[in-house]
């Protein structure tokens, strides 16, 4: 892959430049909440014009603009405020930027209040952390307004991440040879949608929890590919996965499960897969801390540091499940990712 293709593939990561620290991220979230970003996206403004359109007084506005300037979101010249060019460019990934701001805001208290528990007493951390109030899979069965709203909130985050991460997976793996894909834990159908958009010959089945499937059906419903994407609701008992697929994918899914659960999913996938079919795992791998401080945008992923595995961990579990021809490649995104493939 050439340098320019790689730059295009990773272009979405520019949003992290504006979520580098808590102060800058919170100021930016405030600017979105107050409609300042929308206003400045239309045209540059004076302080008076911005104050008139927002609920800010002069001192509040000056403070916010100062913080936004320090975060390289805005510039000021000749009495006018405008979006800085790199930030204006990053707004093409606005869904991802807002998802990251939301995700970091939700989990920051866990990091600040319970980081020591995360290190020394993970059980206590897991029982009190806000992040698990959000990703409450047990609330994805019973249809109620509250459960739909909670599920939709975390699905906005997973969907935005998947939208951009999928492109990388599609560049690295040849999907054109498949006819029927099953995406286990396929969430809103975003990964299946990206695959179907690129490959008109593929039909996809998304297997996920009941409320997730309902929201997912709405997510892909208006897309031209909707007729090629079916949603199958997972049963709580862990029964057979839908058969008749020559590709089974697990995208950012297996890390949610301890080893025994992960191995069960691989065994179920083996049974569901057509003979000769392929299994694909596209996942975050082990966190590596280099010389630089981790950016604030990685806090949500840091909290899952015990859940990530190496490709070798997956390779041995795949082999035990009966898979052969196991290959993997590492891909550096916001964190190290791995793309592991295996054949039945």
Site for ligand SAM in 158-177 (CB under 6 A): 158, 161-162
Near ligand SAM by CB under 6 A, which window of 26-34, 126-134, 205-213, 311-319? 205-213
Q: Which of 87, 207, 270, 308 lies at the binding interface for ligand SAM (CB under 6 A)?
A: 207
Q: Which of 24, 186, 277, 300 lies at the binding interface for ligand SAM (CB under 6 A)?
A: 186
Q: What is the full DSSP assignment across 277-325?
A: EEEEEEEE------SSPPPGGGHHHHTTTTT---HHHHHHHHHHTT-EE
Q: Which residue lies nearest ligand SAM, judged by its C-beta? A: 185
Q: State the minimum distance, in angstroms, from the CB of residue 215 to ligand SAM.
A: 10
Q: Which of 98, 208, 225, 246 lies at the binding interface for ligand SAM (CB under 6 A)?
A: 208
3-state class (DSSP) for residue 71: coil
Closest-CA residue to 203 (of 223, 186, 224, 179): 179
Q: Which is nearer to ligand SAM, 65 or 212 (CB)?
A: 212
286 Cβ neighbours under 8 A, 6+ residues apart: 308, 309, 310, 336
Q: State the minimum distance, in angstroms, from the CB of residue 302 to ligand SAM.
A: 15
Burial of 327 (0-12, 13-18, 19+ CB in 10 A): exposed
Q: Rounded to the nearest 5 degrees, what angle is found at the Cα of 333, between the Cα atoms of 5 and 325?
A: 85
292 Cβ neighbours under 8 A, 6+ residues apart: none
* Token representation of residue 95: 């869904």
Q: Which is nearer to ligand SAM, 191 or 296 (CB)?
A: 191
Q: State the minimum distance, in angstroms, from the CB of residue 139 to ligand SAM.
A: 10
Positive or negative CA dihedral for 196, 273, 315, 188? positive
Binding status of residue 137 toward ligand SAM by CB under 6 A? yes
Burial of 16 (0-12, 13-18, 19+ CB in 10 A): middle
Q: Which is nearer to ligand SAM, 209 or 318 (CB)?
A: 209
Q: Which is nearer to ligand SAM, 87 or 314 (CB)?
A: 314
Binding status of residue 234 toward ligand SAM by CB under 6 A? yes
Q: Which of 24, 30, 185, 277 lies at the binding interface for ligand SAM (CB under 6 A)?
A: 185
Site for ligand SAM in 237-256 (CB under 6 A): 251-253, 256
The footprint of ligand SAM on this chain (CB under 6 A) covers a number of residues equal to 19
Tokens 């528990």 — which residue?
117
Cα–Cα distance between 21 and 133 in angstroms, integer? 24
Binding status of residue 212 toward ligand SAM by CB under 6 A? yes
Q: Which of 71, 104, 187, 205 lies at the binding interface for ligand SAM (CB under 6 A)?
A: 187
Q: Which is nearer to ligand SAM, 208 or 214 (CB)?
A: 208
Q: What is the full DSSP assignment across 120-138?
A: H-HHHHHHH-HHHHHS-GG
Q: State the minimum distance, in angstroms, from the CB of residue 104 to ligand SAM.
A: 17
Q: Which is nearer to ligand SAM, 67 or 96 (CB)?
A: 96
Closest-CA residue to 151 (of 163, 142, 161): 142
Q: Which is nearer to ligand SAM, 209 or 331 (CB)?
A: 209
Q: Which of 34, 68, 107, 140 lies at the binding interface for ligand SAM (CB under 6 A)?
A: 140
Binding status of residue 209 toward ligand SAM by CB under 6 A? yes
Burial of 144 (0-12, 13-18, 19+ CB in 10 A): exposed
Positive or negative CA dihedral for 267, 269, 271, 277? negative
- Pair type for strands 180-184 and 203-208: parallel
Please report, as ranges, the residues that interact with ligand SAM according to CB under 6 A: 137, 140, 158, 161-162, 184-187, 191, 207-209, 212, 234, 251-253, 256
């Amino acid at each position: 892959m050439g340098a320019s293709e790689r730059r295009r593939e990773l272009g979405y990561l520019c949003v992290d430049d504006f979520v580098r620290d808590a102060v800058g991220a919170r100021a930016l979230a405030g600017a979105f909440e107050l409609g300042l970003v929308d206003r400045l996206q239309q045209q540059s403004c004076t302080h008076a014009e911005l104050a008139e359109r927002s609920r800010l007084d002069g001192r509040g506005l000056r403070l916010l603009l100062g913080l936004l300037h320090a975060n390289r979101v805005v510039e000021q010249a000749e009495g006018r405020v405008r979006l800085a060019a790199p930030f204006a460019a990053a707004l093409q990934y606005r869904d991802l930027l807002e998802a990251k701001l939301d995700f970091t805001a939700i989990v920051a208290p866990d990091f600040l209040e319970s980081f020591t528990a995360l290190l020394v007493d993970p059980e206590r951390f897991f029982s009190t952390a806000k992040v698990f109030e959000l990703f409450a899979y047990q609330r994805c069965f019973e249809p109620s307004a509250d459960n739909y709203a909670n599920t939709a909130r975390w699905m906005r985050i997973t969907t935005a991440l998947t939208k951009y991460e999928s492109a990388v997976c599609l560049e690295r793996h040849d999907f054109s040879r498949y006819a029927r894909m099953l995406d286990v834990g396929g969430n809103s159908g975003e990964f299946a949608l990206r695959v179907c958009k690129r490959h008109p010959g593929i039909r996809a089945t998304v297997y996920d929890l009941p409320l997730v499937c309902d929201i997912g059906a709405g997510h892909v419903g208006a897309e031209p590919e909707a007729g090629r994407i079916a949603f199958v609701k997972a049963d709580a008992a862990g029964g057979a996965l839908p058969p008749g697929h020559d590709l089974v994918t697990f995208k950012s899914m297996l890390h949610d499960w301890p080893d025994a659960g992960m191995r069960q999913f691989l065994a179920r996938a083996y049974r569901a897969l057509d003979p000769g079919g392929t299994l694909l795992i596209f996942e975050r791998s082990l966190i590596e801390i280099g010389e630089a401080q981790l950016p604030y945008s990685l806090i949500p992923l840091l909290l899952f540091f015990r859940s990530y595995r190496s490709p070798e961990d997956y390779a041995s579990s795949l082999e035990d499940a009966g898979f052969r021809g196991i290959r993997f490649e590492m891909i550096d995104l916001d964190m190290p990712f791995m793309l592991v493939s295996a054949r039945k």
